[in-house]
Amino acid sequence: MSSLYEIKRSIEQIISERPNHSNTIKEAVSKNFKLENILRTSINFENEFLSLIDSYQVEDKYESYDISLLLLKSLNYIKSQLSDKFGDVKTEVEYKNDKISFDFLDGKGYHLLSLSVYSAYKEDYQSTNFFKPLLKEPELVADIYKILNNEVVLNFVESKINKMINETNAKEEGGRVHVDANSGDGKKVVRKTIEEILADLGVEVYKGNVGLSDIGGYQEIKDRVKREIFVPFLYKDLLEAVKSANRMSISTDVDSALFYGPPGTGKTMMARAIANDEKVNFLYMNLSKIYSVWYSESSKRMEAAIDSAVRYSNEHGKTVLFIDEIDSLGSRTYTYGTESGKVLNTLLTKLSGISSQDNKNLLIIGCTNLLDNLDPALVSRFKTKIYFGMPDKPDRIDIISKYAKNLSREELEKLSEKTQGFSGRDIESMASIAESNFAYDLANKNVTDSHDYNINVDYYIKAAELTKRTKENDEKARDMYR
């Protein structure tokens, strides 16, 4: 009975901390926004299990999909937490009458946890049931609900709040009048810096300090990016002189490149690192923020974003505009007449219409994990295309050495064997798991000989095995939805 009371108190504590979770939620609450308008949570104790129901206010099926996807992304982490305590944990999935359920069972077939999402009129329900074997572990119950609270519940709430803010801003912008300061009509003039204009359009001015020396491996790709993309961009006059001496005519297309390959292989970081080393400005465009809730506005926002990037490069010097996940635009064959199709056509027009003679300071780099999903016309617009593959063994050794600098060469070799098939991001994830586990053991005095916080290779090997299992489970989950 005391353990159930402890569990209830822990969950109520997690719920009570929601208003302070992030700046977005804090700001909304400070303006008298009530979380109950989006989310309500009920706690019920039955004979053999504890039931939690989080009910969300949703506007359409896409918000329902968002909740299911957020839950799906958290499953592997939850399963790993259960496996640490109960050993081999199995997952069963059932989809019936628009209700999707995930059941976790221990090695003997006993239910530990059940998660499900289902819809009713303008509401989605996320049901979490903790069964008797799991209720004997109050701390684990609290940890699992904290994962669900942070990764599913509050992610959805933040997204919902941001959507409401954007819709409000869009309506305000629609009625705002911009006039010249000398017009004399007494209306207030709204003036924004180019950085503020870019931010409104979903383009971030990146101010990082990551250089090529911080990126392990990929030496051949580093050389190609510098030689084939950045040297021509930075020494345009010299390149044009070489071309004039050898060609009949010179094209004046905008400088552009396409990075493609599996996720986590360092495409974005490579562009940022070289731009930083060469003292070039870096603009990051998130295509999801280009889209507007208003019909036909998305293509106008894309046009404004490109034009603003050109203006920024003219004001601040050499600039990279990095367009991430460009495959989300799809192909004109399937998106004709849609918002994505209009945005794609705008980008095609801009890539063709911007002359490098008039815009010597702008380099556009597109990035995709799914080259086959790109429109062929869009692919053809990029001058240079560079493939980022999975790192081979020497590359993995170099990457691992960036995250585990105290390991010997022999240990690095051993760990590189354990990480075959890992991307750079997977290796970073492995290192984070090893560091967290080591810190946990230090905090609980499970480690007596810490050597100034140096992590033993065994922690990395265990983390590599966990990362590998997570990757395999991710692949199985993706197969389920293919």
pLDDT at 17: 86
| Residue numbers of the domain that contains 15 | 2-170
Same domain, 376 and 431: no
Same domain, 316 and 201: yes
3-state secondary structure of 199: helix
Instruction: Tell me, yes or no, whether 62 lies in a domain.
Output: yes
Any idea what the Cα angle at residue 106 is, between residues 102 and 107, rounded to 5°? 130
Same domain, 200 and 320: yes
Same domain, 368 and 417: no
Count structural domains, the chain.
3
Same domain, 253 and 113: no
Distance in angstroms (rounded) separating the CA atoms of residues 118 and 98: 6
CB count within 10 Å of CB 395 equals 21
Which of 387, 408, 443 represents a domain boundary (last residue)? 387
pLDDT at 218: 86
Instruction: Tell me, yes or no, whether 375 lies in a domain.
Output: yes
pLDDT in tens, the chain (482 residues): 457 778 888 888 888 888 887 777 877 777 666 777 778 888 887 666 788 888 887 776 777 778 888 888 888 889 989 998 998 899 988 877 678 889 999 988 889 999 988 876 567 788 899 998 998 888 999 999 999 988 888 888 888 887 777 666 654 454 443 444 444 454 455 567 888 888 888 898 988 788 888 888 888 988 888 888 888 888 877 877 887 788 776 665 557 889 999 888 888 888 888 888 888 899 999 887 787 655 567 888 888 899 899 889 988 889 999 998 888 776 555 455 566 778 888 888 877 766 555 567 888 999 998 888 888 888 888 888 999 999 999 999 999 999 988 899 999 999 999 999 998 999 999 999 999 988 888 888 776 665 678 888 899 999 999 988 888 777 765 555 44
Instruction: Tell me, yes or no, whether 159 lies in a domain.
Output: yes
pLDDT at 76: 87
Looking up tokens 């353990």 gives 3
Distance in angstroms (rounded) separating the CA atoms of residues 113 and 124: 20
Instruction: Tell me, yes or no, whether 12 lies in a domain.
Output: yes
CATH of residue 297: 3.40.50.300
Beta strand segments in 380-482, E: 384-387
Same domain, 283 and 430: no
32: which 2 tokens?
Answer: 């008298």
67: exposed, middle or buried (C-beta count within 10 Å: 0-12, 13-18, 19+)?
A: buried
Same domain, 259 and 365: yes
Same domain, 338 and 455: no
Distance in angstroms (rounded) separating the CA atoms of residues 18 and 30: 13
Which of 337, 362, 387 represents a domain boundary (last residue)? 387
pLDDT at 419: 92
pLDDT at 260: 93
CB count within 10 Å of CB 366 equals 27
Same domain, 222 and 261: yes
Contact between 358 and 255 under an 8 Å Cβ cutoff? The reply is no
Same domain, 382 and 418: no
Instruction: Tell me, yes or no, whether 180 lies in a domain.
Output: no
Instruction: Tell me, yes or no, whether 330 lies in a domain.
Output: yes
Instruction: Tell me, yes or no, whether 175 lies in a domain.
Output: no
3-state secondary structure of 305: helix
Same domain, 269 and 413: no
CATH of residue 459: 1.10.8
Distance in angstroms (rounded) separating the CA atoms of residues 306 and 375: 19
Q: Parallel, antiparallel, or unpaired for β 49-57 and 362-368?
A: unpaired
pLDDT at 448: 65
Which of 387, 422, 445 represents a domain boundary (last residue)? 387
Taking the model in full, what pTM does it have? 0.57
Same domain, 133 and 228: no
pLDDT at 113: 92
Instruction: Tell me, yes or no, whether 187 lies in a domain.
Output: no
Distance in angstroms (rounded) separating the CA atoms of residues 26 and 44: 28
Distance in angstroms (rounded) separating the CA atoms of residues 299 and 201: 11
3-state secondary structure of 395: helix
pLDDT at 253: 54
